[in-house]
Amino acid sequence: MTDDVYMQVPDNATLFQFETDKLKSGDVIALYRPTIGEVARWLISEVDGCLLRVVVLLDRSGNDWTGNYMSFAKREIDPKKWRKLVSST
């Protein structure tokens, strides 16, 4: 699958603002910039207090994190920049 396919929000999904304290296992969040499209997409696999454990589904930041299982502090996620991907089906 090419990058241009990943950059698109699926037709049956919508991006919503969220509160980091309300994220749960199974949520998908995306860092989306209108000028260049989707920059990152993470699948939340576990929420452990102030930590999020994620599978990085897409990383166009140059860090080459795609496919990695990583941990981040909730405070590292800026909800002004990230959006929750929610299926409308």
Sorted by where each begins, the domain ranges of the chain are 3-85
Q: Span 43-60, mean pLDDT?
A: 95
Separation of alpha carbons 58 and 31, rounded Å: 10
Q: What are phi and psi of 54, to 5 degrees?
A: -130, 155
Q: Which amino acid is at 86?
A: V
Confidence of residue 8 (pLDDT cuts 50, 70, 90): low
Q: Is the pLDDT reported for residue 46 higher than 90?
A: yes
Confidence of residue 62 (pLDDT cuts 50, 70, 90): confident
In contact, 39 and 53? CB cutoff 8 Å: no
Q: What is the pTM of this model?
A: 0.81
74 SS3 class: helix
Helices (H), 1-89: 3-6
